Structure 1
């Protein structure tokens, strides 16, 4: 197996990352059913979230300092019709929650100015933040890190790198009210 990888970038327009794999086409008997099921579930989760956004408009705050992660998350979530605002640091996230009407916050843990844990604690002290679902977004999926997020007041965890199916399913569960905050209130 061989291949190539590359990037096409234009200032002010963005970047396109690509790859080419040189592989042989599998015979029908060699096709893997689990992969087909995964794609169908992902499409279904996205469709459910899009249908929810179409009937019950929702605004999500993404607190993330990495521009590439911001772009990927905004593109994925925005493709469903959910409106996404971006905060580039924890303090900005706190300020935006004070002045905004968000249905959910996706919170990176490691950010400048104020990290995601301290930002979550500050949001929880706000009247509008007490029952606001806050989901950790972190590449560190160890139990200790997840527990630190829960102890800070976060309600759930989305692993990085983001898997579209899991992100859509998690967002749908929280935005539809199927999942509830620690205070037990559905949106």
Structure 2
């Protein structure tokens, strides 16, 4: 049994020892446990490790959509812990994984089956909601790929019916649809679905990435063609693509470094040279004069208005109460980190910046 006391220790030990399973707390002294989960699941060497989250906070939706196998709330009873450990043991012993593909188009269903095919995966088709419901009532599946357009009822109604019927198994669901979803439809689906993928030229590799993640498959055991598709999907980084990030930094070298980190992942980087410029830029975005900002990377030491003052000012505005802010500080002392959090930052990172950790925190604090 290995024990890690911080998020950074946990991520490092997972890479170093590749344990059979991880039990993860969300409230760690240096970073949120979600950043550990993200780093484990973004690394092809460790993404197959089952991670069970135990926490006092309700981050269950974020954790499960990031690849966690289960979630328990503290305080945890002994019986629940025993059941969790037995579940992890059963998962480790299981070799064959079963995927249910719910798709009315036979050609599309066959394409998905071919995409997911490997020696450890059995893929079963259902061409209607009724057929899906019947199969889940008598068989066990590790994952379900669902198209929303079914001949007898909508995918929305099917998901609601499955969630209400305790006699029917409800595996992790990946919605794989050809239709564009409204904001309300996406929110409705997020209650039941681990991931939503809109069909397109780049969607097959993302579907493979998501399915292998929830099946906890070892990437190196997959066929080479599937390994290549997963690598392609991880490089594209759907969590960062098209997101708008405000970098608040007075040193042009750091501005260039941060831009070169995020732009290759598809993010749009905006620049403010001090805290005053940052508040002004965010105010303009809130009034619709420029693109909405998804994340702020805030340097602490700057002229005119420092990062802590700017963070407090942002939090005092109606548009800034929930905006994710990551403080970038040259000091790594506990007191300095606490000052960042007390000023209103969601998280912090000490310079020189760890690129993988920065990308991980960005994904955690601005989820899709």
Distance 1:146 1:172, change over 3 A: same
Deviation string for 1:109-149 (max 9, x for gaps)? 00011000100011111111111011100121110001111
* Structure 2 match to 1:150: 341
* Corresponding position: 1:76 with 2:78: no
* Structure 1 match to 2:200: none
* Structure 1 match to 2:36: none
Which of the pair has the greater relative contact order for Cα pairs under 8 Å at 6+ separation? 1
Q: Which has the larger radius of gyration?
A: 2
* Structure 1 match to 2:316: 125
SS of the residue aligned with 1:158? Answer: strand
Distance, in Å, in 2 between the alignment partners of 1:48 and 1:175 is 18
The match for 1:62 among 247, 254, 260 is 247
Residue 49 of structure 1 and its aligned partner are, at CA, apart by 7.1
* Structure 2 match to 1:22: none
SS of the residue aligned with 1:79? Answer: helix
Corresponding pairs, count: 139
Contact 1:48 1:172 (8 Å CA) reproduced: no
The match for 1:87 among 263, 269, 272 is 272
Alignment of 1:1-187 (within 5 A): 41=43, 47=234, 50-54=237-241, 57-100=242-285, 101-176=292-367
Deviation string for 1:46-93 (max 9, x for gaps)? 937722234xx3111110110000000011011100111010011001
Distance, in Å, in 2 between the alignment partners of 1:48 and 1:149 is 31
* Structure 2 match to 1:24: none
SS of the residue aligned with 2:266? Answer: coil
The structure with more strand, counted as a fraction of residues: 1
Cα RMSD, aligned residues only = 2.6
Distance 1:153 1:48, change over 3 A: farther
Q: Which runs of 5+ in 1 are unaligned?
A: 1-32, 178-187
Distance 1:127 1:168, change over 3 A: same
Distance, in Å, in 2 between the alignment partners of 1:49 and 1:122 is 34
Distance 1:157 1:93, change over 3 A: same
Q: TM-score, normalised by structure 2?
A: 0.35
Distance, in Å, in 2 between the alignment partners of 1:62 and 1:47 is 24
Distance 1:150 1:41, change over 3 A: same
Contact 1:50 1:82 (8 Å CA) reproduced: no
Contact 2:240 2:363 (8 Å CA) reproduced: no
